[in-house]
Structure 1
Amino acid sequence: MSISKTTNQEAKPRGIQKKHIFNFNVDIEAVSWLPMPLKCLSTAFLILALAGCSQHKEKALTQISLTNPEDISLTDKAVAIPLEKLEYTASKNYPLLTLDQDTIASQLSDMDADGTADHLFFVMDFEPKEAKKIQLEWVAEAPQYDLKTSIRFGKREAKDQPVQPALEETLSAQDMPKALGFQKYQTDGPTWENDKVAFRHYLDGRNAKDVYGKKTAAISPENVGLDSAGAVVDNYHTMEAWGRDVFPVGNSAGLGGFGVIAKDSIRRLGILVTDTLSNVEQTHFKIIEEGAVKSTMHIDYTNWNTAGNTYQAEETTSIWPGMYAYQNTVSVAGLQQGDTLAIGLSNINNKNGVEELKSEKWVALIQHDSLTYDRKWVMGSALILPATAYQNYTEAPSTGNFTQSYLAKLNVGNDTPVTYYGVSGWELSQEPKFKDAAYFKSYVEQLANQLYTEIDIQIEN
């Protein structure tokens, strides 16, 4: 049920490039009627004209120099270049990036979720301290690339209607499954994924974040969560060739859901599945982009009323290839003095506790155990958080509507965005070494260092 995908139905070979070829073999006989001095002059002018055209074409290419400033390798490192630095106008159409005659998958990205593209986005590998120079050309036809990210969202308005794909949704506090008598959404809400792992958000009022373990790099089937008639059905807790839902969420906020700690009270964004009325007056969901190398969705929470306070909250969720993780950016307006943003990490089935790993730039909360349903498989999960906002962590109480979690406490300003990452490594994924706790910890540390490394970008227009 995904929509607006950029796919590559016919795999294009590597090395796609635009060549400008000019023939300098001038036919002297064609100007034989001219005196010899004029023949030479005519030939010279023609050669100069063609050479000038060639130089003009060469200037149409923008040279971009990229340098990894750190002594670490970077794999599928995200690079985002503001379009204003590339002298971009809508008439320039589509970007084509090349490096040593190889094409680099890229897309125009709307990073501030305002409906207009503002960055050129792609991923690249870098060796320690490596510098690369790539070429950018604007082309009239959109290049086609293998799809490595996706967002799937489907909904229905009545129990007897089939689910239809949709780009956005607005739900009120009354539109809860317990009150409606049926589940409106395919997989309880949107699913987003890359070539490594998949996640889903419970848009049905719970606002928790779940994990799908993927066994293959391919995007999961469109009918996950649906039966043959298009009705909502739970068919994703059964192992399929692509994988399955592996992470129990319960009454937690899953991997990266959030709430607020105010006056020592943990306040959940939303409700439990047994409730009929949400504490969020209106929730608006929208798919911002879905492309070969980046997919993004945005959710606005209007009038989140909890424990006598009213907040306005929003989050923007993105994913790109190569990482067993997703990025989330959250802001909350209405925070009172002493309020703390709480980012949840479900600890259901965890018997090994949590480890706090710190650096100057980031903090990671890491757990590793048989975290999956019935403790059947080993999995690691983690949060990567900015050190500048991190205070400490606590464990949620055993009762209430926000339980079964470790909570990372972030000190953020009122209506100030904060970005963090949810990480998941399942032993049956494409990386079986995730079964080893030390390996998963090493992966989280390496990923965090990569995410917090800024590529040096120099542009020659």
Structure 2
Amino acid sequence: MMHNKLNLCLPAAFIALLFVGCKTYKNTTETGIVLTNNSSLELTDKPISIAKKLLPVKENLNNYPVLVYKNDTIPSQVNDLDGDGKWDELFLVTNFSANEKKNTQLVWVKKAPKFTIRTSARFGKREAENEPLQPATEETVNANQVYKKLGFQKYQTDGPSWENDKVGFRHYLDGRNAKDVFGKKIPAITPENVGISSKGAVEDNYHVMYDWGRDVFPVGNSAGLGGYALLVGNEINRLGILGTDTLNNIERTTFKIVSEGPENSVLSYDYHNWNASGNKYQVKEITSIWPGMYGFKNTVSLDGLKGNEMLLIALSNINNQKPLNVVEAGNFVCLIQHDNLGYNREWIMGTAIIVPKKGYNGYMEAPKTGQITNSYLAKFKVENNEPISYYAIAAWELSADKNFKDANYFTNYVTNLAKQLAAEITVIIKK
């Protein structure tokens, strides 16, 4: 796969740099930061975001922030989320025992430390069928620039892909806007040439098994795992079109890799003038992935709502022959399926969406025909410009954890993950 390394994090491959002793930071300014797990749960790879505005930043030094705990650095990175060229959050991932309090030191260093790369985002595109793919970090797609109209696939893996050390995903930017799953057998980041031929052309070479894994999840005319639609009255409206359509129902789509680093990769999508049931909607979507979780976080907000709409969060159920399992866990509702969900029912997989309990209005099944089929659709009443965040989870029997072959094990994983995601970390900065 094509990697587009943004100079926000300066990661290096597979070797974590640990600082031994605070004397490493001689002649630097230190600030105490207390991180407290307020739950009775043990937390693994818990993500924490600390806004730059809360930190005692000395802009003229142009230094880089790191957190030190018991003489070791906590893996972290800085993210520029608003695209102004300056970082605005310190993002880190760490473990906590139940009710643990970590007294860390914020230390400013001249150069970003090098952590093991555990997340990645990539995107490749071409402007003509006879041109080689080029790495890119952003794209604008107009309504007539869709796969069927162009007559060729413009994008590597049909659109951007992202991954962590557990699992990978891809988004069909060619107008379909569905989300697919790469099953990973190893924690290393997958090769750059996935989806690219030896001559630099788009090639579907990821539906065969490699040492790292393969694309394992059938999507068809569903919105995939974690895609979404809009219910207006009684009409289900797909965000985008089917592969056989030549004109998108979205006037313009803009995409960007916001950040790519060892601990976090973030992608954004803006859908301008989405025509759904005769209305025009504006949609903002943010996708974020960090290590340790068999899934990703998605945040969606809409503008232009009239009051008779519901957001539908999708869970493709192609190949599922067992009942959907709906479980409440903490602040979330988990919609879980576990069956031979892989291509041709070849592999056992578990897939799920973890959605907020607040605003959840049950679920419906997509019709057998139409713009969206073969899906469970979780229903939410949403307000203009009020974001909703949820999680899409996927694990197959060939993952590093072979226990996912068992349905009860996967269900327990999803519900425990939901409780961990709901657990709050208090951040106290002692300036």
Measured against the shorter chain, the TM-score band is over 0.9
Determine the structure 2 residue equivalent to 1:82. 51
**C-alpha separation between the residues in 2 aligned to 1:332 and 1:112?**
18
Match of 2:18 among 6, 14, 21: 14
Determine the structure 2 residue equivalent to 1:35. none
User: Deviations for 1:311-341, whole angstroms, at most 9, x for unmatched residues?
Assistant: 1111000000110010000011111212000
Amino acid at match of 2:230: V
User: Deviations for 1:82-124, whole angstroms, at most 9, x for unmatched residues?
Assistant: 1111122444421122111112111112346666422211011
Query: How has the CA–CA distance of structure 1 residues 13 and 284 changed in structure 2, closer, same or farther, with 3 Å as cutoff?
Result: closer
Determine the structure 1 residue equivalent to 2:255. 285
Determine the structure 1 residue equivalent to 2:386. 416
**SS of the counterpart of 1:232?**
coil
Query: How has the CA–CA distance of structure 1 residues 113 and 455 changed in structure 2, closer, same or farther, with 3 Å as cutoff?
Result: farther
Query: How has the CA–CA distance of structure 1 residues 224 and 395 changed in structure 2, closer, same or farther, with 3 Å as cutoff?
Result: same
Q: How many residues align?
A: 426
**SS of the counterpart of 1:19?**
helix
Determine the structure 1 residue equivalent to 2:336. 366
**Structure with the largest fraction of strand:** 2
**C-alpha separation between the residues in 2 aligned to 1:385 and 1:114?**
31
Percent identity reads: 53
**C-alpha separation between the residues in 2 aligned to 1:12 and 1:423?**
27
Q: How does 1:422-441 map to 2 (within 5 A)?
A: 422-441=392-411
Match of 1:386 among 353, 356, 368: 356
Identify unmatched segments of 5+ residues in structure 2: none
Point out the more displaced range, 352-361 or 390-399: 352-361
Matched, 1:353 2:353: no
Determine the structure 1 residue equivalent to 2:3. 2
Verify the 8 A CA contact 1:115 1:288 in the aligned structure 2. Answer: no
Determine the structure 2 residue equivalent to 1:120. 90
How much does 1:133 deviate?
Answer: 1.1
Query: How has the CA–CA distance of structure 1 residues 300 and 114 changed in structure 2, closer, same or farther, with 3 Å as cutoff?
Result: farther
Matched, 1:61 2:65: no
Matched, 1:395 2:399: no
How much does 1:306 deviate?
Answer: 2.2
Amino acid at match of 1:323: M
Verify the 8 A CA contact 1:225 1:236 in the aligned structure 2. Answer: yes
How much does 1:141 deviate?
Answer: 1.2
How much does 1:360 deviate?
Answer: 4.9
Verify the 8 A CA contact 2:330 2:418 in the aligned structure 1. Answer: no
How much does 1:70 deviate?
Answer: 0.9
**C-alpha separation between the residues in 2 aligned to 1:388 and 1:455?**
20
How much does 1:401 deviate?
Answer: 0.8
**SS of the counterpart of 2:263?**
coil
Amino acid at match of 1:365: L
Determine the structure 2 residue equivalent to 1:73. 42
Verify the 8 A CA contact 1:113 1:298 in the aligned structure 2. Answer: no
Identify unmatched segments of 5+ residues in structure 1: 22-53
Match of 2:217 among 247, 250, 256: 247
**Structure with the largest fraction of helix:** 1
Q: Which has the larger radius of gyration?
A: 1
How much does 1:18 deviate?
Answer: 4.8
Determine the structure 1 residue equivalent to 2:290. 320
Query: How has the CA–CA distance of structure 1 residues 93 and 151 changed in structure 2, closer, same or farther, with 3 Å as cutoff?
Result: same
Matched, 1:184 2:154: yes
Amino acid at match of 1:372: G
**C-alpha separation between the residues in 2 aligned to 1:405 and 1:141?**
47
Determine the structure 2 residue equivalent to 1:149. 119
**C-alpha separation between the residues in 2 aligned to 1:118 and 1:218?**
28
Point out the more displaced range, 179-188 or 410-419: 410-419
User: Deviations for 1:187-230, whole angstroms, at most 9, x for unmatched residues?
Assistant: 00000000000000000000000000000000000000010111
Query: How has the CA–CA distance of structure 1 residues 249 and 264 changed in structure 2, closer, same or farther, with 3 Å as cutoff?
Result: same
Amino acid at match of 1:19: K
Amino acid at match of 1:4: K
Determine the structure 2 residue equivalent to 1:302. 272
Verify the 8 A CA contact 2:330 2:422 in the aligned structure 1. Answer: no
**C-alpha separation between the residues in 2 aligned to 1:71 and 1:219?**
33
Q: Provide the alpha-carbon RMSD of the alignment.
A: 1.6
**C-alpha separation between the residues in 2 aligned to 1:176 and 1:196?**
31
How much does 1:285 deviate?
Answer: 0.3
Amino acid at match of 1:81: I
**C-alpha separation between the residues in 1 aligned to 2:89 and 2:227?**
27
**C-alpha separation between the residues in 1 aligned to 2:285 and 2:279?**
19
